[in-house]
Amino acid sequence: MITLDEKIISQAIIDSYFEKLKNALDCDIAIVGGGPTGLTAAYYLSKQGFKVVLLEKKISVGGGMWAG
């Protein structure tokens, strides 16, 4: 059973991440794929002042770089 304190803490965590998600939805450019090309594109576009969101399906970015 969840206690009241656990519920309040869980709600605060959810609210915090929800705000970050809402901010990420407002972007100039969305890049799908966090491999070398996606990372490079996101870096240079953000340096030019664009609000960029990088979407990656795996838990870490880098694509095939980890395999060598």
> What three-state secondary structure class fits 45?
helix
Q: What is the pLDDT of residue 29?
A: 95
Task: Look up residue 62 and give its DSSP letter.
Answer: -
The residue ranking higher by pLDDT, 30 or 21, is 30
- pTM for this one? 0.61
Over residues 41-50, the pLDDT tens digits come to 999 999 999 9
Q: What is the pLDDT of residue 19?
A: 83
Per-domain residue ranges of the chain: 4-58
- 35 vs 56: CA distance, rounded Å: 8
pLDDT band at 61 (very low <50, low <70, confident <90, very high): confident
